[in-house]
Structure 1
């Protein structure tokens, strides 16, 4: 009974989230895969509720076609979330692609098996011990497909981590402050999924092979609700403005496409680099916490792709690293010569948070700002 209540709670969160996201699809198609993700999860929770009264501890699963149908839907969750992350971190909106069909080949396999078994052998039985040949076959297939689901999950976790790392590198080429733009909540979400999937698959495999009741009860149910709630809270809060902001900056590069074949000469590169150094090192434009590559390009009157080329080939630093190094250098001087608080100094040199300041400062000096100030005073 308690398991059914947990599944009902998870179903309610998923269905409500899918409804809210569906209303936003008209404004941005980035919400479509996430809305489908929550809708599919609602179906999974409904299957768990339906199956709960039919489970008899210590026996082979009754009506295993319900379990297999649940697995079919579960196998669509990783590709749906992957497509959502891909769209959210893309420079331009491309929508669904023909190649996306390939992501759903794995769920088609158990779906075909389920259809064949129901058609050829028939579904349903009169009691938990009166199993048809098809149902026995489904029980074995379910255990095998759970292992396949685990493999699929691991593959998509790798895809997501690689995608997020690449996204962060793009941000560092375009923005001086990336903390508000990074999708750090995805990493926390992935850890929640790892815990949840491990508990769920472990319980399913033990039940399918040995008829054991869930050894993780009720922790797996609580972990499932926590993961769904976390996804709902952050997924509904997330806006596609990140993609729009990157696209706005990248669009400036397309203006200069006709110049791409003729790279800047060494003299031209040095001239652009001098403008960059003058704006940042002399005019101290790095103090602007919202400084971006696009804004700097407008200030010095150069195209963004030329500024990017000069940074990468002549100055040999990313935009993010260069700007934050200058911020740290000024902060170091002020830590030695003033009594201002660390947070005050961080804000005045251009950092928009204490954590980003500490991270950049330690990267440049190998010390925290407080430790650096104490060491400087001692000397």
Structure 2
């Protein structure tokens, strides 16, 4: 076995995973707009893994045109991966989870560089590889492209990762805020695994920048070996791909509406401009809707439904969800998530004071579907824990 047998085994296993996922996603006809970018991400990762193995097993001490082509192909695929994963997250967090992605022109820069790099390798003369040292001065601008691209690949790749990491984090923040506008319970819709990937990639980016700066200033001997460890890079790459494969294949759009109606289409058209700009909701009508919402809470106890959504509440009171959302934000002064959970906490406080039920029973009775979400909302509203409040209330009685 070669000295780097561990890395080869890891690459082989990762290649199998990425090829399987790419094939599965390309055959999936549901949510094509969502899964196509993820499928292409796995295709790109498969190209990187396959070319690494080809170079490992068939490469020679002297660089050949075939090896340079493989290296250029792998490098081109790798710089496209940040854009492809961002595209997947962008569609995944869109309003209905099925909107077609229409990226701006600059997003295609990685693909353009990839095509030019691979094509320019073919323009290199075969005689160039007959000597150990490549004569750079004999090359024209097109022939220099793949060499320059590979020379500055690390720097360019880090810039791409930084740009798309920032875009993904902004998209996740907007998605989290939108969840709170539509759902009273968000745990099963939050993309924590994408946040985890963003965190790991952020660490990788820091390590990469440190390594690049150390190389630029000739300080490789003064940094810790972990910054240049092939084992660490292989394990980090494997972990990221494995998490994407594990969660990406089964992740469903979090904002999708199960049965789109005529009302949903009208709301989408109304929301096409700035928020509430085209709304016909008057102040008096907003107050009447607010009264309906309050009665639905106090009389009908609709907040006790653990799966309650903005659409469910709108249907219950006979008002469009766009008007309910606007009333909550402008008249009541709260988003849907905080408003519903404040009612749940008030109900829980009353039960803690007047009943002997356990905290877990009260948690599910008032509408929370997990102990952690109940404690988080309770602490935010009451600045104490349920058990501490119960003890205090009983001491006062």
Q: What's the RMSD between the two structures over aligned residues?
A: 3.5
Q: Which is worse superposed, 262-271 or 3-12?
A: 262-271
- For 1:171, the equivalent position in structure 2 comes to 179
1:334 equivalenced with 2:351 (yes/no):
yes
For 1:194 and 1:21, locate their aligned partners in 2 and report how far apart those are by CA, in whole Å: 27
For 2:151 and 2:201, locate their aligned partners in 1 and report how far apart those are by CA, in whole Å: 20
- Secondary structure of the corresponding residue to residue 29 of structure 1: helix
Structure 1 residue 205: Cα displacement: 9.1
Q: Deviations 1:96-143 (Å, cap 9, x if unpaired)?
A: 43x45531213423542453354144487358x454536998555424
Structure 1 residue 25: Cα displacement: 3.1
- For 1:10, the equivalent position in structure 2 comes to 14
Count of residue pairs the alignment pairs up = 374
- For 2:385, the equivalent position in structure 1 comes to 368
- 1:125-140 matches, within 5 Å, as 125=129, 129-131=132-134, 133=136
Structure 1 residue 302: Cα displacement: 1.4
Structure 1 residue 257: Cα displacement: 6.2
Structure 1 pair 112/205, CA: closer, same or farther in 2 (3 Å)?
A: farther
For 2:206 and 2:217, locate their aligned partners in 1 and report how far apart those are by CA, in whole Å: 16
Structure 1 residue 89: Cα displacement: 1.4
Decide which of 185, 195, 216 is 1:187's aligned counterpart: 195
Structure 1 residue 217: Cα displacement: 3.0
Q: TM-score, normalised by structure 2?
A: 0.82
- 1:30-69 matches, within 5 Å, as 30-53=34-57, 54=59, 63-69=67-73
- For 1:285, the equivalent position in structure 2 comes to 302
- For 2:163, the equivalent position in structure 1 comes to 155
Decide which of 368, 374, 380 is 1:357's aligned counterpart: 374
1:81 equivalenced with 2:85 (yes/no):
yes
For 1:368 and 1:61, locate their aligned partners in 2 and report how far apart those are by CA, in whole Å: 68
Structure 1 residue 4: Cα displacement: 1.9
Q: Which is worse superposed, 247-256 or 104-113?
A: 247-256
For 1:45 and 1:345, locate their aligned partners in 2 and report how far apart those are by CA, in whole Å: 52
Decide which of 220, 232, 235 is 2:248's aligned counterpart: 235
Structure 1 pair 293/243, CA: closer, same or farther in 2 (3 Å)?
A: closer
Structure 1 pair 191/61, CA: closer, same or farther in 2 (3 Å)?
A: farther
- Secondary structure of the corresponding residue to residue 42 of structure 1: helix
- For 2:231, the equivalent position in structure 1 comes to 218
- For 2:273, the equivalent position in structure 1 comes to none
Q: Does the 8 Å CA contact 1:146/1:205 hold for their aligned counterparts?
A: no
Structure 1 residue 362: Cα displacement: 1.6
Decide which of 315, 324, 335 is 2:341's aligned counterpart: 324
Q: Deviations 1:30-83 (Å, cap 9, x if unpaired)?
A: 111111111111101112112234376xx9999455333322111111111111
Structure 1 residue 174: Cα displacement: 1.3
Structure 1 residue 95: Cα displacement: 2.0
- 1:90-129 matches, within 5 Å, as 90-92=94-96, 93-97=98-102, 99=103, 102-109=106-113, 111-122=115-126, 125=129, 129=132
Q: Deviations 1:137-195 (Å, cap 9, x if unpaired)?
A: 85554242321211111111111111111111111111111111221211012223334
Q: Does the 8 Å CA contact 1:199/1:220 hold for their aligned counterparts?
A: no
For 1:256 and 1:121, locate their aligned partners in 2 and report how far apart those are by CA, in whole Å: 57
For 1:25 and 1:201, locate their aligned partners in 2 and report how far apart those are by CA, in whole Å: 40
Structure 1 residue 266: Cα displacement: 2.3
For 1:111 and 1:358, locate their aligned partners in 2 and report how far apart those are by CA, in whole Å: 53
For 1:282 and 1:360, locate their aligned partners in 2 and report how far apart those are by CA, in whole Å: 22
Structure 1 residue 334: Cα displacement: 2.0
Q: Which is worse superposed, 328-337 or 78-87?
A: 328-337
For 2:70 and 2:147, locate their aligned partners in 1 and report how far apart those are by CA, in whole Å: 11
- Secondary structure of the corresponding residue to residue 48 of structure 1: helix
